Amino acid sequence: MAWQDTVEQTVTGLGFDLVDLERSAGGLLRVTIDWPWEVPQAGQPLPVERFVTVEDCEKITRQLQYLLEVEGLEYRRLEVGSPGIDRPLKREIDYVRFEGHVVDLVLKAPIGATGTDVAANRKKFRGTLERAEDGVQWQVVWSDAPEPKPGQRVSKKRAPVPMQAMAFALEDIQQARLAPIVNFKGRQAPGAAATQTED
């Protein structure tokens, strides 16, 4: 069994999800954990979101240190932490969980679309993650219009901002992360600040 599988079994055996696992050339072994998330059932209230604590990371660290010593895996430093605000999206359940949030996507290959406002060689996108109309694929929705400046009054007669959408399959994605957007004015509805990132 590979050491990656052993680490995943240990993390899941302690009741957590393994979000990411990195091993750098400098000897750093970084393990990212989170509490498991299940799709809410129809008619059921949304589960209370749990956050990873320092004590959770310490518990995983102690267990992994012992395990990795037994496995004979060489590393200089072990780092166990939570995903943070730029959490990677790796599995289908991550996309379901964060539907409606602003995400940063990098495609494996440029979209190659011509005859649209989107550059054909573009690979990077920032926008709101939504389920595509076919119910199978996903899409990212964004606007190229600039955001109003803080404190600027927006007329109610202002024309709606034109939105763009790009559908994709999970196999098309090289990297996907939650967009690290910090709002110091309090919580905001998911996807309320969708903007774009140029390639």
Share of the chain above pLDDT 70, in %: 84
Q: What percent of the chain has pLDDT over 90?
A: 24
Measured on CA atoms in the order 148, 110, 137, 39, is the torsion positive or negative? negative
Locate CATH 3.30.300 in the chain. 3-81
Delimit the CATH 2.30.30 region(s) of the chain: 92-178
Q: d(Cα 129, Cα 146) in Å, to the nearest integer? A: 19
C-alpha closest to that of 103 among 81, 85, 127: 127
Contacts 24+ apart (CB under 8 A), 110-119: 111/166, 117/144, 117/164, 118/164, 118/166, 119/199
Count helices and strands (H / E) in the chain.
Answer: 3, 8
> pLDDT value at position 93?
87
pLDDT at 135 over 80: no
- Model confidence at 187, pLDDT cuts 50, 70, 90, reads low
pLDDT tens digits, 66-116: 888 888 888 889 999 999 888 999 888 888 888 889 999 998 888 765 556
Neighbours of 19 (CB within 10 A): 21
Say if domain 3-81 classifies as CATH 3.30.300: yes
Residue 196 reports pLDDT greater than 50: no
Question: Phi and psi at residue 165, in whole multiples of 5°?
Answer: -135, 145
Query: What per-residue confidence (pLDDT) applies to 13?
Result: 92
**Is the pLDDT assigned to residue 199 strictly greater than 70?**
no
Q: Class of 92-178 per CATH? A: mainly beta
- Burial (CB count <10 Å: 0-12, 13-18, 19+), residue 94: buried
pTM greater than the 0.85 cutoff:
no
